């Protein structure tokens, strides 16, 4: 894969000024509309030029260097390291190091311990020496933060594979977990789909406890190499953490006495579960981490590297690599073609591209072919529900997601397809499946229904981010918006979703964004949904949201929000202006009838003046979310599709409604 044209990581570079860059004072309304129209035309041209010949769009999905480090550690473990890949990955990792010697999990963020440890080890594999200045800065910082002993469990698992950490000093996760029925607490279906795909293979790794010869020592990453893991006192028994710490001790004791026949059966069951979930392209769930751990687990169970399952798995991992012009190699954690394509279609249609334009028809044909028509793991909790819907990735039939399905339906409705009956049938199946995936509280999550157990997050093993999939305001809003455009605003299930959204509004007037950063994303999702469902612009919830967006608008006219808003209230609605977040705010304000307002004019002017000559926008900041705070994403197409959608709606009015009229 070659690097895309949007890989710049510099700060946004203004074009010709459409507003005062220092005062934020907007020009006249007519000038703003002219600038918006011209910017939208350039944005349309840029986006159309990026469509693949097969009909899809996909921007790079940038995360952090743990993806690259773990890819190298996997190759080292399997004995398939090659010098070209090693040095190309090292070039990328070095380029992401901060001045203080650390690595962050998002652009402009603080250094993060586990990420820094994994990056450091990867560079040691590539030949960088501990005494090199950049390495010495990193190791000193790591020791100051507690060393390897303070790293997350997953980092220490990787180190244990090479004897740099003791398996006895890691939380236990037995493969017998595979036998627990779905009604027992802590069964594998209590975990979110991304977590269960990782945990099942890791139960095999935990049971096997392999150690490959370490190519070097890592004494410099311990605060005291003689006592690399100082004993920490247990939490009180009456606390959840104390109870689960003692459960972990029981599981460690069980590891020593586990009946061999039962353990062998459990590992066979885990292997069968893993192989059954391998996708047609060889990957697992279209996500790099589960694929990595699945390959390791199967290898430990006797699958040699030439086995068709292993060969396909390793080939799939190569497809996550983005080779840049400077020779650096970046690994994507995932790929987002369905998500990017439906958002691109919405953007182009709302910017005035006719519904029968060949690009939109080709995109619709591709999306129709991506429809999932067989059951997946979601059916464990919804066994009677017929399949339907769309996933996020090229191949992921086990895990269609509700967010993609809602947005694909909204996109397909904008296309004038030569076979409308085919589109109608797919939309009907997708809408039926989406309604069936509603959780008991009336809202929708991303992948599963009622995946809300509090137990998985309490396990000592699960310190790597969110491991359950509870309903969220942004996904629920996208579903409500889709159902409204399908003429189901008054369906009791839609009304329950709306009631849940109203109850989730923050006192400030904002909504929390689970899958995007953060309150700007949540608010930018919910307001258009409520308006589509028939809410008047004067409704108190809408007015509170508008008031919040106006209060957090930056002086330059844009909007931004730092990822630290997930944990620190002072960052809520605060951060450097970005193209995607400015667009989200504008989508809410436009839906709420604020087209003539000063906040909208200033936001539109910011988008116009910060557009690049080629019709694109630059955005180094991460505005997507995998796990709130723990795992952040820079979707390189967000900076193109959302500004174009906002400009299109500003120029042409709100998107269609089911009866063909403008507005909702």
Q: Which residues are known to be catalytic? A: 403
Q: Cα torsion at 453, 458, 463, 464 (round to 10°)?
A: 0
Q: Give the closest residue to 455 by CA, choosing from 115, 186, 157, 156.
A: 186
Kind of pairing between the strands at 624-627 and 329-331: unpaired
The tokens for 476 are 């629920």
State whether the Cα torsion 552-555-559-560 is positive or negative.
Answer: negative
CA distance between the termini of the chain: 41
* Residue 649 near residue 587 (C-beta atoms within 8 A): yes
Q: How far apart are CA 125 and CA 87, in angstroms?
A: 9
Q: How far apart are CA 622 and CA 55, in angstroms?
A: 26
Q: How far apart are CA 33 and CA 564, in angstroms?
A: 34
User: CA of 523: how far to CAs of 209, 401, 508, 588, in Å?
Assistant: 46, 21, 11, 7
3-state secondary structure of 322: strand
Q: How far apart are CA 344 and CA 616, in angstroms?
A: 13
* Residue 390 near residue 430 (C-beta atoms within 8 A): yes
Q: How far apart are CA 191 and CA 381, in angstroms?
A: 13
Q: How far apart are CA 160 and CA 145, in angstroms?
A: 20
Q: Which residues contact 144 (CB under 8 A, 6 or more apart)?
A: none
* Residue 203 near residue 271 (C-beta atoms within 8 A): no
* Residue 289 near residue 299 (C-beta atoms within 8 A): no
Phi, psi of 2 (to 5 degrees): -95, 160
User: Based on the number of CB atoms within 10 Å of its own CB, is 20 exposed (0-12), middle (13-18) or buried (19 or more)?
Assistant: middle
The tokens for 526 are 């919910």
Q: Give the closest residue to 604 by CA, choosing from 589, 591, 592.
A: 589
Phi, psi of 287 (to 5 degrees): -125, 135
């Amino acid at each position: 894969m070659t690097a895309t044209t949007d890989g710049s990581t510099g700060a946004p570079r203004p074009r010709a000024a459409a507003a005062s860059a220092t005062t934020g004072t907007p020009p006249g309304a007519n000038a703003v509309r002219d600038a918006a129209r011209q910017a939208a035309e350039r944005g349309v041209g840029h986006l159309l030029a990026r469509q693949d010949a097969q009909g899809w769009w996909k921007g790079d999905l940038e995360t952090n260097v743990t993806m690259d480090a773990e890819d190298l550690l996997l190759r080292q473990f399997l004995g398939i390291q090659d010098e070209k890949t090693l040095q190309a990955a090292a070039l990328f990792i070095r380029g992401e190091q901060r001045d203080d010697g650390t690595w962050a999990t998002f652009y402009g963020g603080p250094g993060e311990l586990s990420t820094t440890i994994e990056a450091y080890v990867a560079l040691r594999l590539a030949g960088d020496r501990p005494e090199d200045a950049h390495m010495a800065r990193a190791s000193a910082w790591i020791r100051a933060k507690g060393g390897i002993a303070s790293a997350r469990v997953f980092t220490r698992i990787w180190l244990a594979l090479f004897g740099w950490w003791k398996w006895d000093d890691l939380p236990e996760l037995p493969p017998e977990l595979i036998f627990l029925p779905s009604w027992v607490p802590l069964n594998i279906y209590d975990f979110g789909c991304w977590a269960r795909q990782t945990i099942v293979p890791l139960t095999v790794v935990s049971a096997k406890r392999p150690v490959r010869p370490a190519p070097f020592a890592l004494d410099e990453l311990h605060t005291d190499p003689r006592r690399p893991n100082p004993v920490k006192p247990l939490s009180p028994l009456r606390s959840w953490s104390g109870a689960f710490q003692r459960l972990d001790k029981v599981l460690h004791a069980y590891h020593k006495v586990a009946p061999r026949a039962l353990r062998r059966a459990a590992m066979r069951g885990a292997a069968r579960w893993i192989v059954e979930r391998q996708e047609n392209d060889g990957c697992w769930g279209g996500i790099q981490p589960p694929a990595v751990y699945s390959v390791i687990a199967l290898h430990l169970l006797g699958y040699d590297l030439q086995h068709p399952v292993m060969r396909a798995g390793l080939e799939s991992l190569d497809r996550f690599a983005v080779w840049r012009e400077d020779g650096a190699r970046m690994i994507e954690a995932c790929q987002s073609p369905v998500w990017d394509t439906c958002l691109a279609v919405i953007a182009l249609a709302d910017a005035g591209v006719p519904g029968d334009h060949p690009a939109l028809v080709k995109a619709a044909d591709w999306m129709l072919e991506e429809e999932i028509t067989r059951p997946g793991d979601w059916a464990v909790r919804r066994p009677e529900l017929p399949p339907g819907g769309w996933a996020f990735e090229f191949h992921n039939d086990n895990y269609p997601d509700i967010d993609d399905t809602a947005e694909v339906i909204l996109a397909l409705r904008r296309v004038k397809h030569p076979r409308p009956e085919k589109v109608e049938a797919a939309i009907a199946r997708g809408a039926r499946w989406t309604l069936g995936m509603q959780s008991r509280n009336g809202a929708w999550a991303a992948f599963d229904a009622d995946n809300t157990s509090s137990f998985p997050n309490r396990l000592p093993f699960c310190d790597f981010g969110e491991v359950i999939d509870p309903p969220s305001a942004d996904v629920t809003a996208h579903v409500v918006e889709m159902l409204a455009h399908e003429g189901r605003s008054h369906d009791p299930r839609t009304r329950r979703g709306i009631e849940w959204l109203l109850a989730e509004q923050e006192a400030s007037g904002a909504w929390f964004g689970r899958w995007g950063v953060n309150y700007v994303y949540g608010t930018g999702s919910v307001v258009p949904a409520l308006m589509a469902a028939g809410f008047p612009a004067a409704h108190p919830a809408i007015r509170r949201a508008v008031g919040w967006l106006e209060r957090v608008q930056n002086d330059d006219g844009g909007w931004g929000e730092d990822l630290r808003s997930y944990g620190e209230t002072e960052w809520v609605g605060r951060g450097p202006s970005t193209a995607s977040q400015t667009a989200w705010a504008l989508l809410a304000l436009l839906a709420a009838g604020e087209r003539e307002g000063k906040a909208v004019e200033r936001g539109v002017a910011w988008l116009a003046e910060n557009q690049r000559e080629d019709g694109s926008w630059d955005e180094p900041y991460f505005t997507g979310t995998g796990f709130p705070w723990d795992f952040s994403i820079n979707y390189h197409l967000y900076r193109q599709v959302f500004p174009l959608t906002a400009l299109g709606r500003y120029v042409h009015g709100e998107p269609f409604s089911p009866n063909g009229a403008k507005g909702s």
